[in-house]
Amino acid sequence: MSSNPVKILGALAATLIGLGVLPYKAYAGQTFSRCIVVDKGIHRLFLCRHGKIIKRIPVSLGIDSMSPKRHRGDGSTPEGCYYVTYKKHKSKFYRFLGISYPNKVDAWLGLRAGYISPKEFRSIVSAISAGIPPPDYTALGGGIGIHGGGIYRDNGRRRTRDWTEGCIAVDDHAMDIIYSFCNLGDPVVILNSRHPFFDMVRPFGIPVSIDKTLHPGYQKGKYISRFGVVTGLGQVSLKLEEGADYSRSIEISVFEKGTPGPPGYIIFDHNGDGRLGPGDRQIGSLDSLIGVQNPYNRLRLELTRALRRGCLLTYPEEWSLYLR
């Protein structure tokens, strides 16, 4: 057997590819040239150009500032990748930028949870695919956006932060800057860096398959979703797997900059807890991670930084569950 680690990794990658476990190469795509990013975990909005943060702005969120929005009236701010659907120069709270909530992932999760019907799911997916505002009449709600009105509200007794019904609020002066910065169709990325790792990245995973045996009450079905990010370590592909029995796993492949072919580093996190533990595996190495005691910690940090800069890659929709 060859002792060359590159050959060993290549042979292993080829075997895994044959089993449908991981992609052979980094998928083609570009990051956003201009986008708005909101990190709920640190109450900050970032204006980004070509993957670089050019402005940081404090924000206020929904009354439930930690949870991702799941249905109408829950007081939560959504998490995921959206786009600007309209710009309103005058509104109740100064200026308003509408965003495309619910998106396809919200609709997928809403269908799984029983909040919406298959017909409503298809209407949301069709609207997003056409680049128009999604319907807001379903149980998922709508009317979410970025607006002025200030970071804090005075309720007569004390100043309150996180006062909205799910929107993102900023000071009016900051709203002028954001309003001038973006155009219709520009991406709006919303994450929560205080979530456990799986929960932080899940809103960005595009569903690609559901176990054909999955039906209500069946405990062996699996939901699979994928997405890609460009980080300081190279392009990273994430595969998220959720079981109907609430099990979770994450597979992460890192493709070093300028290195064609199979990934140079792979992590199999079999319980999706964001840590390397018993039963988890890592294969290969990255030159930039040599000497790092826990490379998974470093990789998680790089992924969080990449999301804050809006460095997402669009997963090819022709592979998506939405078209099946």
φ and ψ at residue 212, rounded to 5 degrees? -60, -20
Distances (CA, A) of 14 to 99, 206, 266, 282, 316: 41, 24, 13, 16, 22
Q: Return the pLDDT at 14.
A: 47
Helix axes 104-113, 118-130, angle to 10 degrees: 180
Segment holding 239, helix H or strand E = strand 234-243
- Cβ burial of 154 (10 Å; 0-12, 13-18, 19+) is exposed
Would you say 228 and 102 are in contact if contact means Cβ atoms under 8 Å apart? no
Q: Return the pLDDT at 148.
A: 97
Is 2.60.40.10 the CATH classification of the domain at 34-191? Answer: no
Would you say 27 and 313 are in contact if contact means Cβ atoms under 8 Å apart? yes
pTM of the model: 0.87
Residue-range domain boundaries for the chain: 5-29+196-323, 34-191
- Minimal CA–CA distance to 169: which of 144, 186, 191, 194? 144
Would you say 276 and 294 are in contact if contact means Cβ atoms under 8 Å apart? yes
- Taking the chain (324 residues) in runs of 10, the rounded mean pLDDT of each run is 43 44 53 94 97 97 95 96 95 95 94 91 92 93 96 83 96 98 96 97 87 55 89 92 88 81 90 92 79 83 96 65 52
Q: Which residues pair with 99 in a beta bridge?
A: 84
Q: Return the pLDDT at 205.
A: 93
Q: Return the pLDDT at 258.
A: 62
Q: How many CA atoms lie within 13 A of 264 on its CB side?
A: 16
How is residue 62 annotated by DSSP? B
